[in-house]
Structure 1
Amino acid sequence: MTTRTDIEQHPDVAEMRSRFERATSNPRAQSVEALALLTGVYLAASPWIAGFSGLTTLAVTNLILGIAYCVCMGGFASAYERTHAMAWAACAIGAFTILSPWIVSGAVDTTRTIVNNVIVGAVALLCGLAMMAAGGRDRPSASVGPSSMS
């Protein structure tokens, strides 16, 4: 006769859920998520806002990156425990956005596209790093004292 234990009742799972809830319920995390969503929407629309004339490859790239960024960053408030690991993908999207004028379009001849992508990519990268740090911010620190050195 074996007894089946439900993993949902495990104390570590309850503590992890509590920590994730604290990480996303503070105003800082909510404002980072809002800024990240606005950044993703702007990234998707930036070719038409900033006027990437003649650079259709870069325009399509920014549209796809903006949508992907919104998808990555949009799930944090509602399901942080399942989506916090995707913050690294948001950081990668931000870094690629910075480099995309040179990678996708080759030699870009407009300063407008470079400045646009560098600023938006830097904001996206910083938002991704902030979300990566949000989960580890409230972990208890290990103290080194006489009792722990035995």
Structure 2
Amino acid sequence: MTVPTSPRIETHPDILALRAHSEETTATTAAQAVEALALLCGVYLAASPWIVGFNAATNLTINNLIVGIAFACLVGGFGSAYERTHAMSWAAVGLALWTIVSPWVVAGHAFATRAVVSNVVIGAACCLIALACARMGLGRGTPGGRG
């Protein structure tokens, strides 16, 4: 008894259309700018304790370093494999929101005003950029549809 062979999923017309649409989306100047800004925000967040000068707050310093590296790595994958990673931009939104509240959660009341301002501003910027990445994924639809 032979098993019927099925066509490979990679050659399915819907998969090919989805990949083509993803490539078109990431090829735009706006998408590349959003990705570059997101990467820079992640690098800034990781380095912010030393740039702004609150590296004496050890817990917040470690938090910003880890979250910044995670954010940069997360958004760094969008351009190369957007068709598989655009949904992860919601995780980037979560990291951005965590950045905003982390001075109060991680450091308690032992933080400097500059740490709060830095985290709130970069957290808001990261949130807006991550939402822009998510928005690029939401506009996708079937070929000839709303996408």
Fold in common (TM above 0.5): yes
The structure with the largest alpha-carbon Rg is 1
Task: Tell me which amino acid in the other structure corresponds to 1:72.
Answer: L
What amino acid is the match of 1:83?
T
Structure 1 unmatched ranges of 5 or more: 143-150
Alignment map for 1:1-150 (pairs within 5 Å)? 1=2, 2-137=4-139, 139=141, 140-141=145-146
Counterparts of 2:40 and 2:28 in 1: how far apart (Å)? Answer: 19
Residue 75 of structure 2 aligns with an amino acid whose one-letter code is M
Identity %: 50
Residue-by-residue CA offset, 1:93-123 (whole Å, 9 max, x unaligned): 0000000000000014421011000000001
CA contact (8 A) 2:87 2:137 kept: no
Deviation at residue 55 of structure 1 after TM alignment: 0.6
* Alpha-carbon distance in 2 for matches of 1:97, 1:134: 23
Q: Partners of 1:7 and 1:131 in 2: how far apart?
A: 27
TM-score by length of 2: 0.91
TM, length-normalised to structure 1: 0.89
Which residue of 2 is the match for residue 145 of structure 1?
none
Q: Give the 3-state SS of the residue equivalent to 1:141 in structure 2.
A: coil
Confirm or deny: 8 A CA contact 1:23 1:138 kept in the other structure: no
Maintained 8 Å contact 1:23/1:137: no
Please report how far the alpha carbon of residue 53 of structure 1 lies from its aligned counterpart in structure 2 after TM superposition. Answer: 4.6
- The CA distance in 1 between the partners of 2:51 and 2:108, in whole Å, is 21
Q: Any conservation in 2 of the 1:52–1:59 contact (CA below 8 Å)?
A: yes
Q: d(CA) in 2 for partners of 1:80 and 1:96?
A: 24
AA aligned opposite 1:69? F
The alpha carbon displacement at 1:5 in A equals 1.2
Gapped regions of structure 2 (runs ≥ 5): none
